[in-house]
Amino acid sequence: MSKHAAPDDLAALPLYVDLDGTLLRSDLLLESFLELLKQNPLYLLLIPLWLLRGKAALKREIARRVQLRIDLLPWNAGLLAYLRKQKARGRRLVLISASDQLLVDAVAAHLDLFDAAIGSDGQHNCGGTAKQRRIAAEAPRYVYAGDRAVDLAVWRHAAAAIPVDVTPALRQQLAALVPIETQFPRQGSRWRATGRALRLHQWLKNLLVLMPLALAHELGNSALLLQALLAFVSFGLCASSVYLLNDLLDLPSDRAHHSKHRRPFASGELPLLHGLLLSPLLLALAFALASTLPPAFVGVLALYYLCTGLYSFVLKRIMLVDVIVLAGLYTLRIIAGAAAVGVALSFWLLAFSMFLFFSLAVVKRYTELDYLQKAGVARSMGRGYLAQDLPMMALFGSASALMSVMVFALYINNDETRMQYATPELLWLLCPLLLYLITRIWLLAARGQLHEDPIVYAIKDRTSQALTLVGAILLWLAILDWRALL
């Protein structure tokens, strides 16, 4: 409770509750807009035409074309518990929102908590002063729960307020206007949540762009190294833009997932609008930086973004195509690194990376299917797999992993390779290291002990770190000309 103690008779007043950002830790208009884009991105062309008829018309046109998973939406648990207590005491509760009436009715029916539900009707937008007039027409004295500055138009005429997830400045402004019945402060840091949404730790995957330079033995070339580092940052910005877009389009399946439901957008920790604004901004920065590099790199970066877009909208729902595309996206990082510094790509490197990353992509799907099977779920949501596909996925993935090691062994025995290394025989020691690393990941997955992206796991895992360091030392020793040193 605030220093403005609510009078005893406030509990007898009807409580009007805003939906978007207040009871719901999301926005139904943006939720339905994203669902519409998933159905058909060409709907973007109709949005301006609908908007010409007004906000209410736009909301109705979108709402009538989508079917949201209301049961998966992120609710404000604290406020919801408070409302249930008020309902038990006989208080009148009204859900009122600027969202379309079709969606507001669906929410009210799901929660089975409110005496009435009011929303925009396709002609009149129920927001700001229009919302205040709608409330005043049926309740001269009321309490209102809201979350944004636009709600001040309603709060000014209220008997008391319930601020939810408001900024400190708005909280102070509101306290000077009306008594505060109770409040629900903002939880967590949005800056920290934004960092998690960008998945900055995943940037380590983009170190693959440095691989062509390293294998060409040109890491000591400062000019080329700078170009490779610029390519790394550019790819990182582009990848973060893609992660944001992917998370926005994956809201229902993420919320149904045992661990992904904690992601910032799925959980409501971060507003969807932040992602919709930040994703294109990061993409623009990525290509602005890429423009300082050779045109070939810009072309590969554009191809990467196009493939990720197709993956997000279509390909990730197609059985096996999704893992092939994921493997291809990793390989594109290597191709981009070569394009950034003008190094010729090796057939062996491309073949090795494709088989290796296909195996790791399959591991990711394997762990998801393993969880589904243990949970008794037959089909993965948003993917083209059944729980019964688990044995075959293990077969595909482990076979591809072993093929990647075979390709590396053939690479070692290649005449051109033997000319590039002073002591190529040392490279053979990398084969058992690779076998151990890859088969260990698959064994952990089979035991149900791999709970995240296998590449992220390998980056965090101490054993994998140690073996990677040993591998790097062996590679360095193979390059050294011992006779020249002696």
| Domain assignment present for 185 | no
17 in Cβ contact with 94 (< 8 Å) = yes
Between CA 40 and CA 215 the distance in angstroms is: 43
The band of 232, judged by pLDDT with boundaries at 50, 70 and 90, is very high
DSSP state of 23: T
68 in Cβ contact with 32 (< 8 Å) = yes
Whether 59 and 148 map to the same domain: the answer is yes
- Domain membership of residue 340 as a residue range: 190-485
Between CA 334 and CA 216 the distance in angstroms is: 13
| Nearest by Cα to 353 from 386, 383, 326, 377 | 326
Last residue of a domain, one of 122, 148, 175: 175
Whether 378 and 352 map to the same domain: the answer is yes
pLDDT at 2 over 60: no
The pTM score is 0.84
Whether 213 and 153 map to the same domain: the answer is no
> What does the pLDDT look like over 385-401, one tens digit per residue?
888 888 999 999 999 99
Whether 168 and 223 map to the same domain: the answer is no
Between CA 78 and CA 58 the distance in angstroms is: 32
| Domain assignment present for 213 | yes
| Domain assignment present for 225 | yes
What distances in angstroms separate CA 252 from CA 9, 70, 263, 363, 418, one per listed residue? Answer: 41, 9, 12, 23, 52
pLDDT at 81 over 70: yes
Q: Which two tokens stand for residue 162?
A: 């319930």
Whether 197 and 162 map to the same domain: the answer is no
| Nearest by Cα to 32 from 126, 97, 100, 98 | 100
| Nearest by Cα to 316 from 390, 266, 254, 263 | 254
Whether 343 and 478 map to the same domain: the answer is yes
Whether 198 and 111 map to the same domain: the answer is no
Mean pLDDT of 61-80: 95
Q: What does 28-56 look like in DSSP terms, one character per residue?
A: HHHHHHHHHHHH-GGGGGTHHHHHTT-HH
* pLDDT of 483: 55
The H or E element spanning position 95 is strand 93-100
What distances in angstroms separate CA 81 from CA 46, 75, 231, 451, 482, one per listed residue? Answer: 40, 10, 49, 32, 72
pLDDT at 452 over 80: no
Based on its alpha-carbon atoms, the radius of gyration of the chain, rounded to whole angstroms, reads: 28
> What does the pLDDT look like over 281-334, one tens digit per residue?
999 999 999 999 999 999 999 999 999 988 888 888 888 999 999 999 999 999
Q: For the chain, how many structural domains are there in total?
A: 2
Last residue of a domain, one of 148, 175, 202: 175
| Domain assignment present for 128 | yes
Dihedral over Cα of 47, 50, 54, 57: its sign: negative
